Amino acid sequence: MSLTGKVALVTGASRGIGRAIALELGKMGATVAGTSTSEDGAKAITDFFAKSAIKGSGFCLDVGSTEAVDSVLARIEQEFGAAPLILVNNAGITRDNLLMRMKADEWESVMNTNLTSLYRICRSSVKIMTKARWGRIINISSVVASSGNPGQTNYAASKAAVEGFSRSLAREIGSRGITVNAIAPGFIDTDMTRTLTEKQVEAMLLQIPLARFGKPEEIGAVAGFLASDAGAYITGETIHVNGGMYMA
Ligand code: NAP
């Protein structure tokens, strides 16, 4: 399961699921570029990697900007001497509202951050992976892409599109030794779910056979598996990690 010698890019690695994925890939030997939307966040990532004894550093990136994406990819190659052949598109946001009240900005910001970012980052990264004839793309979706969730038409649509995107890209580049998969987490204990009220959490727990929220490390472990040789024959797949709340 070694990733020694590989460079991995994990977007949104300052906290939550992205941080756990970065840590897992780093422990497996990869040199990790983890991103945050702020310079302070990027520095905190660098410090966290050093403290955790993994190779790599933090970079400031807004996945909503094509120029920023291209510049970060160039900087990673410059700093680490190799481009990322493992790409984890994890950065994501929610802007929940009932559709009747949803503002255009709430719709557009979710689509731009959660979906259009994949177009930007994958388009540039795939060229490099194609040359190397090896690559792993892991896109973070959500259980609500399959189950739906009131108040999340924007978010659920963006994540369902991430899964369709992954299947199509998997078909385009499989012959080049590049796999493209999605992970669909259920409710995971991160800042994103800490905004739920006690009542909402109680209602959620009733729907989860394992009767608890997931831990970020439980998503990190699946990302590590998909990035490793053990996951080499899996592509175009969405792996559900949700404690049984949705059984595909
Ligand atoms: P989180 O704790 O809210 O962290 C979000 C991360 O995304 C942060 O590192 C943040 O960076 C980064 N980010 C936000 N906007 C960005 C932008 N425009 N450009 C670049 N980075 C940006 O979220 P999480 O719960 O770990 O979720 C991670 C992923 O899993 C998301 O795609 C989310 O949709 C998905 N997911 C989460 C759950 C859950 O229950 N938590 C369930 C299903 C799917 P800064 O810290 O620098 O702002």
- Per-residue pLDDT tens over the stretch 186-208: 999 999 999 899 999 999 999 99
Instruction: Please write down the HEC assignment for all residues of 87-106.
Output: EEECCCCCCCCCHHHCCHHH
CB atoms within 10 A of CB 70: 14
Q: Which two tokens stand for residue 38?
A: 């702020």
Band (pLDDT 50/70/90 cuts) for residue 121 is very high
pLDDT of residue 219: 98
pLDDT in tens, 76-99: 999 999 999 999 999 999 999 999
**How much is the average pLDDT of 36-51?**
98
The Cα 189–Cα 212 span in angstroms is 9
Nearest residue to 165 via CA among 89, 245, 66: 89
**How much is the average pLDDT of 3-12?**
98
Give yes or no for residue 1 having a pLDDT over 90. no
Band (pLDDT 50/70/90 cuts) for residue 48 is very high
**Contact call for residues 182 and 239 (beta carbons, < 8 A):** yes
**Contact call for residues 18 and 91 (beta carbons, < 8 A):** yes
Residues with C-beta less than 6 Å from any ligand 1 atom = 11-12, 14-18, 35-38, 41, 61-64, 90-93, 113, 140, 142, 185, 187-188, 190-193
**How much is the average pLDDT of 217-240?**
98
Band (pLDDT 50/70/90 cuts) for residue 248 is confident
Query: Which atom of ligand 1 lies nearest, measured to the CA of 191?
Result: 2
The H or E element that residue 194 is part of is none
φ/ψ (deg, to 5) at 9:
-110, 125
Nearest residue to 122 via CA among 141, 109, 132, 137: 137
**How much is the average pLDDT of 141-164?**
98
